[in-house]
Amino acid sequence: MSRLRLGVIGAGAWGKNHVRTAAATPEAELAAVCDADPTVRERVARQHPSAHVTGDPVELVECADAVIIASPAATHARFARQCIDAGKPCLVEKPFALSVRDAEGVARAAAERGVPVMAGHLLLFHPAVERLRALVQGGELGKVYYLYGLRVNLGQVRADENALWSFGPHDVSVALYLLGEVPTRVAAQGRSYLQPRVEDVVFLTMEFASGVLAHVQLSWLDPHKERKLTVVGAKKMAVFDDMEAREKLRIYDKGVDRPPEYGSYGESLAVREGDIFIPKIPNVEPLAAELAHFVRVARGTEPPRAGPEDGVRVVQVLDGASRSLATGGAPVAL
């Protein structure tokens, strides 16, 4: 089987990683790269002389069998529609779109034309997240009570999107992936300190029909670099810490038990302190795993782990959170 010719639209801060990974994927070849910045195009041409480098996205789509869209967020939906109209499978980086209407338009076009489309929810391909999902779905943690995430750093400050839209797709997509359900209500509060109307810190809360509560802190104005998710269940608790070099997932055999023989509420609660289990997590680069999966999706041999409908769901959460932000934190039903 011939290698899939991949095109990448956007080779900037994050897109350059897609360019690198596409060039290193055995099942594919880096056929073309498009970027609006001449300096970026010159860099790509030097590093990948066999790839066709252009500033015209239409030209790129013609050169490729499948396309990765890693351009600025405001262009994602437009470029995705161009790929779909040309019958070319595409991987759309997060956020899938900047409005529910645009996201639904992409999903509808993909369904009508029968063109495979993936949402770029990278952490769904992290082996620690895959293991954590197996724990949650398999019942090892027991009934999930709540979860909370922390995604903060000093930078990268953006002007075209706030911390919610820049960082939030990661934690929202993971929460929906772990729980297998979508929130019924969201609320968010945030503040803009560095630029007018661009929130540097956002606190997002999601409520689910199952009773699970999820809270996420997002900021690019923080002294620490943290990428952590804690899941608290009735039987056990788990912590995914992506900043850990080796021990990225820890499972705590801790909880509060309620022996049925006691009648008094105070006497019936017993704190349980058990062992800490650190599973071996494969050393797999999530981006490489995502791209290898996209190649199979583009060939039609696998359904997408994160399809266009998943992209729509995440955008719906972010849109609801944005509406809540605008009111100072009032809950928004989804």
- State the average pLDDT over residues 240-252: 97
> Is 17 a residue whose pLDDT tops 70?
yes
- 255 confidence band (pLDDT: 50, 70, 90): confident
> Is 271 a residue whose pLDDT tops 90?
no
pLDDT, residue 261, reads 59
- State the average pLDDT over residues 216-226: 98
What is the value of pTM for the model shown?
0.95
Yes or no: say if 83 and 89 are a contact pair by the CB < 8 Å rule.
Answer: yes
Q: Which CATH superfamily is domain 127-284+317-333 in?
A: Dihydrodipicolinate Reductase; domain 2 (3.30.360.10)
**Cα–Cα distance, 134 to 125 (Å, whole number):** 13
Model confidence pLDDT, tens digit, residues 112-164: 999 999 999 999 999 999 999 999 999 999 999 999 999 999 999 999 899 99
Question: Are 4-123+286-307 and 127-284+317-333 equal in CATH topology?
Answer: no
- State the average pLDDT over residues 231-259: 94
> Is 263 a residue whose pLDDT tops 60?
no
Model confidence pLDDT, tens digit, residues 275-305: 999 999 999 999 999 999 999 999 999 999 9
Radius of gyration of the chain (CA): 21
pLDDT, residue 326, reads 97
Strands (E), the chain: 4-9, 28-34, 52-54, 66-69, 90-93, 117-120, 144-154, 183-191, 201-208, 213-219, 221-233, 237-241, 249-257, 270-277, 332-333
pLDDT, residue 260, reads 63
Domain residue extents for the chain: 4-123+286-307, 127-284+317-333
The CATH architecture annotation of domain 4-123+286-307 reads: 3-Layer(aba) Sandwich (3.40)
pLDDT, residue 319, reads 99
Q: Which tokens hold the place of 249?
A: 């997932």
Could you give the C-alpha distances from 276 to 137, 146, 252, in angstroms and in order?
20, 19, 5
Which of 50-64, 99-113, 120-134, 255-269 has the least mean pLDDT? 255-269
